[in-house]
Amino acid sequence: MKIAMLARNANLYTHKRLKAAAEERGHQLDIIDTLRCYMNIATRRPEIFYNGEQLKGYDAVIPRIGASVTFYGTAVLRQFEMMGVYPLNESVAIGRSRDKLRSMQLLARDGVGLPVTTFAHDPKQTEEVLKLAGGAPIVIKLLEGTQGIGVVLADTDRSAKSVVEAFRGAGVNILMQEFIKEAGGTDIRAIVIGGKVVAAMKRTGAEGDFRSNLHRGGSAQVVKLTPEERATAVRAAKTMGLNACGVDMLRANHGAVVMEVNSSPGLEGVEKATGLDIAGKMIEFLEKNAKAGATKTKGKG
């Protein structure tokens, strides 16, 4: 197979691992800088160019689109889809998962366990929205945040109101979620590929930090999932329409609750914690499923 990988930094652990895993299996994998692609949106003849040359002949595309370039990245991916190239994750599914509000609404619709989540536009409704979420302590999240950035824990109703007013004054949209105290600063990331959980790790936040992101100094170790947690992760991936993703969950008193579904999960933490070849499993999925024109959405928005 000839595989394109849309990624801005070829030197990241995950990207090097995916390239090595593809080459070990006899495939060609080209790492293409997403923002240096340009497109000819022509009737019945969609084309993509990169460094002055037309990109063609690819059997599959692996989108590793950073949150900051979601708009342009999904546009490039749609163009690949319209050219009949099979994506590991489709553009529509990535767009769904990147929109925190939309993803929460879809997960709630499908009965996936979630922390109580509230959303409002008018800062005057802060008190009512706080009550709906169960009051302080409460987690306040920027809709556009990633890797733990833009996530605040407000200990009191008063501090929550101040944070909400500050964010809304800056014109940014936020969610409020109940704080799952019993999780104790740990969460679980389950890697789902092709509708199956292939690996899971428990992440623990750095001392004094309620966020467990490895980018923020957290640590990881292998964890055994309960059948309920496994089913929750698979259902969350299916709801988003993602073939390969990381599902972040907390262990609440009433069961597993999903915090986020990540369409481009980093592989370093989970591969080192579990000793499993996750990059190889992603390439294996493409080997089994990549067929010309097999994209469900055909580039539709």
Q: Classify burial at 143, counting beta carbons within 10 Å of its beta carbon; exposed 0-12, middle 13-18, buried 19 or more.
A: middle
141 is in an annotated binding site: yes
Residue 239 structure tokens: 């709801």
Handedness of CA 133, 134, 135, 140 (dihedral sign): negative
Give, in order, the Cα–Cα distances in Å from 298 to each of 78, 164, 210.
8, 40, 41
178 is in an annotated binding site: yes
213 is in an annotated binding site: yes
90 is in an annotated binding site: no
User: How many C-beta atoms surround the C-beta of residue 35 within 10 A?
Assistant: 12
59 is in an annotated binding site: no
- Report the C-alpha gap between 63 and 20 in whole angstroms: 16
Handedness of CA 25, 18, 191, 223 (dihedral sign): positive
- Token pair 């069961």 in the structure block, residue: 255
Q: Classify burial at 258, counting beta carbons within 10 Å of its beta carbon; exposed 0-12, middle 13-18, buried 19 or more.
A: buried
Report whether 206 contacts 217 (CB < 8 A): yes
122 is in an annotated binding site: no
78 is in an annotated binding site: no
260 is in an annotated binding site: yes
Cite the annotated binding site by residue number.
141, 178-179, 187, 211-213, 248, 260, 262
Cite the annotated binding site for Mn(2+) by residue number.
248, 260, 262
Cite the annotated binding site for Mg(2+) by residue number.
248, 260, 262
Cite the annotated binding site for ATP by residue number.
141, 178-179, 187, 211-213
